[in-house]
Structure 1
Amino acid sequence: MADAVIEIDRLRKCFGPKTAVDDVSFCVAPGSVVGLLGPNGAGKTTLINCLTTLLVPDGGSATVAGHDIVTDPRGVRAAIAVTGQFAAVDEALSGRENLVFFARLLGLSKSGARARAAELLDRFGLTESADRPAGQYSGGMRRKLDLAASLVVPRPVLVLDEPTTGLDPRSRETLWDAVRRLAADGMAILLTTQYLDEADALAGRIVVIDEGRVIAEGTPRELKKQTGGSVCEVTIGDAATRTRAAALLAGFAGVNVRDDAVVVPVRGTEDLAGIIRDLGADGVHADDVAVHPPTLNDVFFALTENRQAPDGTAAPVPEARS
């Protein structure tokens, strides 16, 4: 991608005999959000640590705003803003004091730091609470303050590592709006998240990695098409019956168990009729049968189905919640 701000080419990182990141390649353009998804242990954190110069890769290459992560780590760090899973602000300081503190650390003058703090407080809707201790902020307010602190000095790249973990739905929506505005202003944003609806809402492209390798890449719409036309959820309250139903439907590609339902991608009325016929022939009673368009949750489970048994007992803990 000619105008990419982040370029990753066959990046590899090993820890002893284990390859945590295996020939990963993708790009992030200015003004775009790329979602990085995968199950626990897929290699996302290792990849982010390489990209932010916390780890040195064992192969391949990556550049951030033209700076090589191995030969020019200082340039990379000057071009990248990172917001981690937990707010890094000082709860004893007010919101304004936190931002002024970070601005002064990054070389702004006293007047410049105060002006930048006021600008960011206004941008993130924190002006009314600016002089309250950050420890009195709600979780959503602290996350907004943390994001504002990472933007004290404008940078072309923002890495968001699970930015809304633990937030209520309203706070998540508020932070989503802030991320959309940053992308609209031209930032290149790399997002890792446990919430697939978050990736669906924010990311123009999604990269799915599993066991260190990229297993799928595309727009949310393109990825959803891979699961077929629709998804059938067969709700069965009894756990033993649900396990038996999953075994009966194991012949359908992508079948998996989620919560109290057996979920099966279907490609037409013939598949749906086959599900009902197979369950009925074995005397399995379903509490409910529903058909809906595929979601990113469905994509996630379909792409990583090789790592879980049909009854779900061998499944890894997926980084997916809805």
Structure 2
Amino acid sequence: MKILVTGAAGFIGQALSEAFLKRGDHVVGIDNMNDYYAVTLKESRLERLKKYDQFEFHKLDLADRAGMEALFQNNQFDRVVNLAAQAGVRYSIENPHAYIDSNIVGFLNILEGCRHSKVPHLVYASSSSVFGANKEQPFSETHNVDHPVSLYAASKKSNELMAHAYSSLYKLPTTGLRFFTVYGPWGRPDMAPILFTKGIVEGQPINIFNNGDMERDFTYIDDIVEGVIRVTDKIPAASEQWDGHQPDPSSSYCPYKVYNIGNNTPVRLMDFVQAIENALGKTAEKNMMPMQPGDVPSTCADVSSLERDVGFKPATSIEDGINKFVAWYRDYYKV
């Protein structure tokens, strides 16, 4: 298949692109290579992809309407996987306009490209952040998610709504994936695993928010990739059981679907830090801090729908995942 992967120089984008390439697909990758974090890391990821003959890369911003139109006009994609986005809950408080440009305007350009070129299946990244103020756990795709607590979360919920509109209007099959705290080799340096590891290695204090009273459904990158590939291969169909009197947010009368991809095993933040300490053989100096605006105290994914529909459930233990991550960190950052 010929697959467009947006955000191909990103953490998940690079890992997914390489998995597609290894199974023989042709991958067209785009990325705007912005400086939200070190561009050198993105370039290193791209180098891993450029060794494949079936990979081609275009430096392109999703918000570039003319560029995106030309991309779709010049290619006929069998699948589109949209991972490009302005990420980060806390950064959305500092720079909200970046989220509208990339996550709203950019996503509209993806939808329009898929619509006009009749792409058979659009898969796009949503986020566990959409659950916002919800308290009932594990978080299920059937739950109402109308109370986001950050603009980032609101932009991702908006993507789900926009996708539904296009699935309804144009019968464009779309699948949204709510990722739960992805970690692993080649991860983003603004996320906890690298921030904690870097601080511990350098003997600097690490910030522990909500005084450590937090837990996350940390999901290893290989599990995320396997889930995305399986979902990409499964084109959603309209649900005959869908009832507008009792609407299920995860499916529809049109070809639309939303899945959680999480480990279904929440880990206490302090246990996560301890796993990194164990892997490094060094104890962290901890700076206990209050909860940050836009954060939530706990996440846990109900992945029963994913398991039922594509036969996959993430299962990498935090110990195995952290050991692999720390081994990569030592190698890449030469420590």
TM-score by length of 2: 0.29
Higher helix share: 2
Higher strand share: 1
TM-score by length of 1: 0.30
Bigger Rg, structure 1 or 2: 1
